[in-house]
Amino acid sequence: MPDEILISIESIGDDSSIPVEVGVNLLSPVEKARANAFRFPKHQNRYVRGRALLRQKLSRLISVPADRIEIKEEERGKPFLKDEALSFNLSHSGDLAIYGFSTSHRQIGIDLELFDRELDVDGLSKHYFSALECLELNQFPGSEKKEMFLKIWTAKEARMKLTGEGLHLDPRSIELTFQNGVPSGFRRPTPSSQHLLVSHHESLGAVSSIVADDPFSVSSLD
């Protein structure tokens, strides 16, 4: 039976479930310093809410008070918990954040993009997508093309975050496979055995992708 990945999508905008003045008290000194480094209050507040919500969700899963959880970072910045059989990843776009949690030792990568972003779809795809990916993309007209672009882009981003490589792994070195017009897996880089789930959250106006090394099912944490 596939392992389960728990997913939560939350607002980190002004309508968030956690006020900034509450959230900031849950953060570590390092997180508070990062929050203070943002130039604009809107971005600072999003960061505070996003990290505080992460801590609250981790607290539910590992039964440690949110403000006492020690979040470590790998060399290239991927967060993890030491001595816990729990993997997690997160992503945000605008006022929306997505969190993924695996109670096995599986590494996961997750990415989210809002559909209302202004994008140079043709220019970006020519630069970052393979010929096969561009061929798939160009089958779609208008807004459907933008949606397909975001599906491909989030799949690449999630794969880059799976191993913590981030932008150290060139998006052009990743090539997707497709099934029924939807990204379904990876042809490159090898080994290409990672499993991919791409979702269009129509009511939220967003697209997300999740990548893991093993087969998985998805359930809501909430």
Let me know how long the chain is. 222
Give phi and psi for 98, each to the nearest 5: -125, 140
pLDDT, tens digit, for every residue of 5-36? 999 999 999 999 999 999 999 999 999 999 99
CA–CA distance from 79 to each of 35, 71, 123 (Å)? 16, 6, 32
Class level of CATH domain 113-211: alpha beta
Residue 181: how many other CB atoms lie within 10 Å: 12
Q: Within 13 A of 191's CA, how many CA atoms are on the CB side?
A: 6
The reported pLDDT for the residue numbered 165 is 76
Percentage of the chain exceeding pLDDT 70:
98
Q: Sheet holding 87-93: strands in order across?
A: 87-93, 96-102, 3-11, 216-220
Contacts of 71 (CB under 8 A, 6+ apart): 28, 54, 55, 58, 79, 80, 81
In the predicted structure, residue 1 carries a pLDDT above the cut 60: no
Confidence at 55, pLDDT banded by 50, 70, 90: very high
Confidence at 105, pLDDT banded by 50, 70, 90: low
The reported pLDDT for the residue numbered 191 is 67
The reported pLDDT for the residue numbered 192 is 76
Looking at domain 3-110, which of 3.90.470.20, 3.40.50.920, 3.40.640.10, 3.30.365.10 is its CATH number? 3.90.470.20
The reported pLDDT for the residue numbered 167 is 62
Determine which of 36-40, 166-170, 193-197 has the lowest per-residue pLDDT on average: 166-170
The reported pLDDT for the residue numbered 130 is 95
- Give the strand pairing for 206-212 and 108-114: antiparallel
- Residue 199 CA to residue 167 CA, distance in Å, equals 22
Please state, rounded to an integer, the average pLDDT across all residues of the chain: 93
In the predicted structure, residue 85 carries a pLDDT above the cut 70: yes
Confidence at 222, pLDDT banded by 50, 70, 90: confident
In the predicted structure, residue 150 carries a pLDDT above the cut 90: yes
* Predicted TM-score (pTM) of this structure: 0.94
- Residue 125 CA to residue 45 CA, distance in Å, equals 32
Whether 2 and 197 have beta carbons less than 8 Å apart is answered as no
Confidence at 209, pLDDT banded by 50, 70, 90: very high
CA 9, 125, 168, 162 dihedral sign is positive
CATH 3.90.470.20 residue ranges for the chain: 3-110, 113-211
CA 180, 184, 189, 192 dihedral sign is negative
